[in-house]
Structure 1
């Protein structure tokens, strides 16, 4: 190896380092990355490492986990030594066992466990060439693993090209740039490899190669033995042509000189990713094995792998040149032969058949459709869209073509590709037509989630449903062709979602009337969604059982069906049954699957975290959802995230933040008629006002949702804000209204609808009871409710209110048994305003509340440092400069710190830290 002293020294230090790490070599094609990888691998073997090599291959870049399988195949026997949960992760990815496709984090942790186990006896070096061609799923896992290798016996070395984008561009791994050779080193290399070149040829080679080692070697071979009187011309193209293309032309002259049989072998290998150097065909039988290609070796196009004896391409540019030189018919014939080779591998077979087939072929379309279903189950929604679209192109009749394009558009919509979904359904329209049920579906999705349009979308979707209903099972597209029944079901569910976001009585009544006219065309799940999403007070009873049963079958459902049932579970307050599954699959959907569905999963996870008192985690989940919705242009989801964050801020006593978010949501949602969101904003306003003791404002917000003594139809916050309205009415002297509202909850049968509604109904009845016996009885029913502990904030509110009542009637001693657990619960939750109120009530009993060190102890080192700096008077910007954080990050930390210290303002920081420090010393 000529030159590269600095690079070799760095690689030697990398290999000999005692701790695990990752390094990415980045350089142009042919600059010598592969040679450096080989040098590092050889050194590692001398140092006693086990070396495993893999390579990204363009032909496999669409196959999920193909690259990861290369890396891990030699280690898979060790999987049997792992625990059951980790083995299940590998089974789901590689073993063909149907199960929850893992997220990048879950699979990355499993890979780290496997690598650590395999490296117990000898250190391990993973070497990846051509990382730019690694499939996205594998690249994401490699990036995750590479960032977490420090301190272990495993190292990862990756080479990528600078002229192509890859997932490693954003993997945040250390990099070593590999640049062209210096003029002196280029001349030395050329003289060493081809000393017989004429002076004129030598000058042309050096000028053309521009210090690129591959170009130097190949151009020298091209000119070797030619006449000394060479014309001073560019024999492989002008300088304006990129070097990779010029080298492909050079290889092309050698390929053209081979006979047809050898060229066919090379083409088969190139199209199937075969012939990767250095033993990287790690999985036997997964790629085509080239035969009888010695002539290509003699031509400098192939080498022979020492270990396996297989033919391998000298360089990826040879493979590219082979494919580029083949005619379309030759490529199709090769793909067809490869599909037969891989007849037992669904996704590889589908890939080759898609490229081999020109005319409509229903059998091939069925295979592509099956591959799309397989990809969807593994979290590969984007790959599914590609296969479904190709399946539609190959369909033999309009009905199947329309169905497959519609399915592709549907999956694209849930993958946050609303524009692509719209284009797909437009491709399905007959000439001269403007609309079909599928196009209405895609356009309505886009209008709803991007613009929050519930008015026109409700009319359009209703009209499309009526058209399909009147056509029987679903006919009458613009061109007279039939539409599948599945489109009708999707339209119905979309109409229910539109109605839910509208929160409008007229819209819901219109929806229910339309569904009632459809008879058996409405599925049981659609009826479940209709009952639970609309108005649980009037329609929710009886659905909890079916929703709980559905939770047992979540792994068998498509991701969008999971979130629909999750919405029903939220309205029935049994979302905790769903959350473990949601948390297992949400990362997978956000990374490679149904991104929009993943954002809904984040909303549902956040809502359950809020309900059970995991407020710090809920803050992180909500912010993540907001960032993703903003990134993908889902303005409706962004507003929904802000609304939930406003509710959370109100619960935590962050009144200023709650009101800012509330105002932002209201300003966007109210003009659009999004009652679902304006109700959440009003609810956040009521809670924030209660937290700060502004009961009149709380009352005004609460009656904006529903009037006392009734539950406004289809206002989903009407029942959820029961305690807010009752407490606000009582504290403002509206005792009769408070009592009427509590009785209305009882008479509406809220305890039979959901566990939370049962808890707060009994609590409201206890608060408004006209005598002490009833108050004690209703409080006992609330506290003894089987699910009371699942809703710690509501239970603490009920205990606080009952303790206040008992103090006035029975005296301080009797009240303490209710006030103490209420104060402790508020403190654990971080409900600052409520904590202060409970402490005040405890002081009124004559018992000073214990100064708690719980929250101070829960501050991380970073949070404590930020708190100290803020208490000293520094601004967020000044704190950020000292701690190398952004002002926004400092602000987020302070939002978490305030409730932990039981305060609501920055000015209270110094006293809170002093009190808790003093208490810690006692």
Structure 2
């Protein structure tokens, strides 16, 4: 190589470094990245390192995990040596085993484990060329792995083209820019390779190549045999074109010289992504293997892979040139042949059939539709939109076209492509049309999530449902009975969503009346959503069983169906049953799938984290949701994230932050009539006021949600803020109102709706009981509620109130059994206001000073390991690199460790851990 001394020196240092790391070479096409990769690979082999080479292929850029399989293929035999859980992750991705697709984090950790195992004997270097063509799933995993290689025996060297957008642009990996050669080095390279060039040709080559090594080496061949006396225009052609096209033209002359059979082989290989290094198969199929193409090898278009003997394209531009030179009919014929080759592979077959088919073909449209469904379930919503759109183009009937465009728009909307969804349904409208149900669906979805519009969207969606109802919108089932049309069902769910966000009684009553008129057109799921989303106090009883049962079927559902059941589970306080699945798939959806649905999953995960007392994790989840919603222009979700963060701040006693977020939410949501969000804001205001001891303000916020002694219809926070209103009323002398509200909860049957509502109902009855016998009985019933410990904050509040009562009636000693666990839970959660109140009550009982111990909640193995490393002086970043965790995750673990150890600062870790060890001895 010429002029690459600095790059070679940096690569030598990279290859010989003692610990693992990652490096990205970034530069324009043909600048010499591949040569530098080969140089680094040769250095590594001389250092006795194992080198694995792979390359991204444009034809496979939409096939999930195709690139990752190529990277890991030589190592997959080692998977059998991993533990069962890690093997299951690889099976889910590469072996076609049915199950939940792993998240980027889960798969990334599994890959790190495999690399560590494979490199145990000899250091390992992964060399990845043309990474800009990796499918998104593979690129995300490679980025995750690259950021966590420090300290291990494996390295990753990646080359990406700077003029093509890729996932590595935001992968936060160290980069080595590979720029064009200087004029001096370019001249030196050209003279070394072509010393006999005429002065005119030499000048033209240097001028046109502009320091690009590939152009410097290839352009002279373009002028071979041409007279140097020809005018410049005749030598280089009439049109000055960008470098990649010029190089493609150079390759084109060689391609044109091949016979038809060889060109067909090259075209088949180019369209199917053949010829990547190592000739490895990809999942879930194999690339086309080119054969009988010796003349292409002789022409410098193909190389022979040394290890496998497979034919590989010498450069990606050769592949592009082959495709560009083929006629449309030749490309279609090749795609059709490839579809037959991959007839057992749904997604590959669909890719080629989509390109091979010109005229409407219902069979092909059906295959594309099935491939889209498959991609959606695997987290490939964007690919699904493309396939559904193409399926619509190939539909033989207007009905089929409309349905598939509607499906494409629906998936696009859930993938946070609201503008694309709108354009898709608009494409189906005829001139002068007033709008189809699908266009109403897309427009209303966009207006709701971008603008928070619940008023006009409720009218529009209701009118569309009425139109479909009156038009008999149903399809015939195999049993001959009418089944609801898919668009109708989607409109119904959207109407329920709009009504839920409105929190308005009139809107809900109108919705229920309309749904009642649908009769058999209303699905069972829609009935469940209608009951649980609207007013759980009046309609929620009896739905807990079906919602629990649905948790077992989540892997078989579309992502949006999962979140719809999740909303029902939230209202019934059953989200913990759904959370494991949500956490497995949320990263996948946010990265390559239904992004908007992924944001809903984050909301639901955060709500469950709040419920079970994982407040540090809830903070991270909520902030992540807010960032994503803001990035994608989902103002409704952004306001919802702020509302939940306001609740969390209020629980922690961060009154200023809670009120700032509350005011921001209220200012955006109240003018739009978003009762769902204004109620959350009011609830946060009540909680913040209770935390600071401002009971009058808390009371005013609470009665803004519902009046004492009743539960305002369709105010979903009315039942959730039961304890807030009761406590605020008691502390402000409104004892009768507090008692009336507790009795109203009992009479409304809240204990039959959910375990949490049972807990707080009996807790409220205990707080307001007129005699001690009833108070003790109600408290016992509260504590004995199923899953009472799953709601630690509410249970601690009830224990605190009961302990105060017992202290006043029975004396200090009996009260401690309630006050001590309450104080410990408040402190572990980080509920500052309640912690201080409970400690004050304990001091009033003359309890001995608290000694920090681990008796409340011992450290987990991972927490102890992180605490040890932090006590040793490592930063969060260093700890994360050592344990394959993000710095944010390390911070979250430490946030939980501090209260468990009874400390507030990192500097106290060493002493606290020593005390713990001594106590355990």
TM-score, reference length from structure 2: 0.91
Counterparts of 1:444 and 1:319, CA distance in 2: 44
Structure 1 61/123 Cα, relative in aligned 2: closer, same or farther at 3 Å?
A: same
For structure 2, which runs of at least 5 residues remain unmatched after alignment? 476-481, 872-886
Q: Deviations over 1:738-789 (max 9, x none)?
A: 1111111111111111101111111111111111111111111112223211
Structure 1 87/843 Cα, relative in aligned 2: closer, same or farther at 3 Å?
A: same
Structure 1 181/473 Cα, relative in aligned 2: closer, same or farther at 3 Å?
A: closer
Structure 1 96/283 Cα, relative in aligned 2: closer, same or farther at 3 Å?
A: closer
1:66-105 correspondence runs (5 A): 66-105=66-105
Counterparts of 1:444 and 1:596, CA distance in 2: 15
Counterpart residue number, 2:558: 558
Q: Does 1:592 align with 2:592?
A: yes
Deviates more, 1:249-258 or 1:544-553: 249-258
Structure 1 408/232 Cα, relative in aligned 2: closer, same or farther at 3 Å?
A: closer
Q: What is the CA-CA distance between 1:153 and the residue it aligns to? A: 1.5
Q: What is the CA-CA distance between 1:861 and the residue it aligns to? A: 9.0
Counterparts of 2:395 and 2:408, CA distance in 1: 14
Counterpart residue number, 2:32: 32
Q: Does 1:408 align with 2:394?
A: no
Structure 1 341/471 Cα, relative in aligned 2: closer, same or farther at 3 Å?
A: same
Structure 1 375/335 Cα, relative in aligned 2: closer, same or farther at 3 Å?
A: same
Q: What is the CA-CA distance between 1:909 and the residue it aligns to? A: 9.7
Counterparts of 2:666 and 2:201, CA distance in 1: 74
Say how many residue pairs are matched. Answer: 885
Structure 1 193/31 Cα, relative in aligned 2: closer, same or farther at 3 Å?
A: same
Question: Residue 666 of structure 1 contacts residue 681 of structure 1 at CA under 8 Å; is this kept in 2?
Answer: yes
Counterpart residue number, 2:601: 601
Counterpart residue number, 2:361: 361
Counterpart residue number, 1:528: 528
Q: Deviations over 1:202-252 (max 9, x none)?
A: 333233322322212212223345445343447335795321122222222
Counterpart residue number, 1:478: none
Counterpart residue number, 2:271: 271
Counterparts of 1:651 and 1:307, CA distance in 2: 62
Structure 1 97/827 Cα, relative in aligned 2: closer, same or farther at 3 Å?
A: same
Q: Deviations over 1:364-386 (max 9, x none)?
A: 11111111111111111111111
Question: Residue 236 of structure 1 contacts residue 249 of structure 1 at CA under 8 Å; is this kept in 2?
Answer: no
For structure 1, which runs of at least 5 residues remain unmatched after alignment? 476-481, 866-888, 903-907
Structure 1 448/849 Cα, relative in aligned 2: closer, same or farther at 3 Å?
A: farther
Counterpart residue number, 1:210: 210
Counterparts of 1:234 and 1:809, CA distance in 2: 106
Please give the secondary structure, in 1, of the residue aligned with 2:781.
helix
Counterpart residue number, 1:381: 381
Counterparts of 1:125 and 1:900, CA distance in 2: 40
Counterpart residue number, 1:487: 487
Counterparts of 1:687 and 1:227, CA distance in 2: 87
Question: Residue 828 of structure 2 contacts residue 896 of structure 2 at CA under 8 Å; is this kept in 1?
Answer: no
Please give the secondary structure, in 1, of the residue aligned with 2:235.
coil
1:164-563 correspondence runs (5 A): 164-233=164-233, 235-237=235-237, 241-276=241-276, 279=279, 286-474=286-474, 485-563=485-563
Counterparts of 1:668 and 1:502, CA distance in 2: 13
Counterparts of 2:895 and 2:609, CA distance in 1: 18
Structure 1 450/287 Cα, relative in aligned 2: closer, same or farther at 3 Å?
A: same
Question: Residue 274 of structure 1 contacts residue 281 of structure 1 at CA under 8 Å; is this kept in 2?
Answer: no
Q: Deviations over 1:51-75 (max 9, x none)?
A: 2111111111111111111111222
Q: Does 1:783 align with 2:762?
A: no
Counterpart residue number, 1:646: 646
Counterpart residue number, 1:795: 795
Deviates more, 1:569-578 or 1:236-245: 236-245
Counterparts of 1:131 and 1:423, CA distance in 2: 31
Counterpart residue number, 2:44: 44
Question: Residue 73 of structure 2 contacts residue 280 of structure 2 at CA under 8 Å; is this kept in 1?
Answer: no
Counterparts of 1:709 and 1:423, CA distance in 2: 50
Question: Residue 602 of structure 2 contacts residue 622 of structure 2 at CA under 8 Å; is this kept in 1?
Answer: yes
Please give the secondary structure, in 2, of the residue aligned with 1:53.
strand
Q: What is the CA-CA distance between 1:899 and the residue it aligns to? A: 13
Counterparts of 1:554 and 1:142, CA distance in 2: 28
Counterpart residue number, 2:136: 136
Structure 1 115/293 Cα, relative in aligned 2: closer, same or farther at 3 Å?
A: same
Q: What is the CA-CA distance between 1:604 and the residue it aligns to? A: 0.8
Q: What is the CA-CA distance between 1:293 and the residue it aligns to? A: 2.3
Structure 1 711/266 Cα, relative in aligned 2: closer, same or farther at 3 Å?
A: same
1:535-684 correspondence runs (5 A): 535-684=535-684
Counterparts of 2:897 and 2:704, CA distance in 1: 28
Counterparts of 1:119 and 1:160, CA distance in 2: 25
Counterparts of 1:230 and 1:822, CA distance in 2: 93
Q: What RMSD over aligned residues (CA atoms) do the two structures have, in Å?
A: 3.1
Please give the secondary structure, in 2, of the residue aligned with 1:235.
helix
Counterpart residue number, 2:876: none
Q: What is the CA-CA distance between 1:195 and the residue it aligns to? A: 2.7
Q: What is the CA-CA distance between 1:645 and the residue it aligns to? A: 0.9
TM-score, reference length from structure 1: 0.91
Question: Residue 819 of structure 1 contacts residue 842 of structure 1 at CA under 8 Å; is this kept in 2?
Answer: yes
Counterparts of 1:630 and 1:221, CA distance in 2: 53
Q: What is the CA-CA distance between 1:191 and the residue it aligns to? A: 3.0
Question: Residue 898 of structure 2 contacts residue 904 of structure 2 at CA under 8 Å; is this kept in 1?
Answer: no
Q: Deviations over 1:715-753 (max 9, x none)?
A: 111111111111111111111111111111111111111
Counterparts of 1:627 and 1:499, CA distance in 2: 26
Q: Deviations over 1:267-318 (max 9, x none)?
A: 2221111233565667897122223323323333223333333332222112
Please give the secondary structure, in 2, of the residue aligned with 1:125.
strand
Question: Residue 653 of structure 2 contacts residue 691 of structure 2 at CA under 8 Å; is this kept in 1?
Answer: yes
Question: Residue 236 of structure 1 contacts residue 246 of structure 1 at CA under 8 Å; is this kept in 2?
Answer: no
Counterpart residue number, 2:773: 773
Deviates more, 1:705-714 or 1:295-304: 295-304
Question: Residue 284 of structure 2 contacts residue 345 of structure 2 at CA under 8 Å; is this kept in 1?
Answer: no
Question: Residue 529 of structure 2 contacts residue 564 of structure 2 at CA under 8 Å; is this kept in 1?
Answer: yes
Structure 1 279/574 Cα, relative in aligned 2: closer, same or farther at 3 Å?
A: closer
Structure 1 658/853 Cα, relative in aligned 2: closer, same or farther at 3 Å?
A: farther
Structure 1 495/68 Cα, relative in aligned 2: closer, same or farther at 3 Å?
A: same
Structure 1 893/281 Cα, relative in aligned 2: closer, same or farther at 3 Å?
A: closer
Question: Residue 646 of structure 1 contacts residue 657 of structure 1 at CA under 8 Å; is this kept in 2?
Answer: yes
Structure 1 125/315 Cα, relative in aligned 2: closer, same or farther at 3 Å?
A: same
Counterparts of 2:189 and 2:809, CA distance in 1: 98
Question: Residue 65 of structure 2 contacts residue 283 of structure 2 at CA under 8 Å; is this kept in 1?
Answer: no
Counterparts of 1:583 and 1:444, CA distance in 2: 29
Counterparts of 1:275 and 1:731, CA distance in 2: 76
Structure 1 304/843 Cα, relative in aligned 2: closer, same or farther at 3 Å?
A: closer
Counterparts of 1:899 and 1:673, CA distance in 2: 42
Counterparts of 2:896 and 2:335, CA distance in 1: 63
Structure 1 279/187 Cα, relative in aligned 2: closer, same or farther at 3 Å?
A: farther
Please give the secondary structure, in 1, of the residue aligned with 2:236.
coil
Deviates more, 1:210-219 or 1:445-454: 210-219
Q: Deviations over 1:368-412 (max 9, x none)?
A: 111111111111111111111111110111121111111111111
Q: Deviations over 1:128-177 (max 9, x none)?
A: 11111111111111111111111112111111112212111111111222
Question: Residue 722 of structure 2 contacts residue 764 of structure 2 at CA under 8 Å; is this kept in 1?
Answer: yes
Please give the secondary structure, in 1, of the residue aligned with 2:128.
strand
Q: Does 1:127 align with 2:127?
A: yes
Counterpart residue number, 2:807: 807
Structure 1 310/844 Cα, relative in aligned 2: closer, same or farther at 3 Å?
A: closer
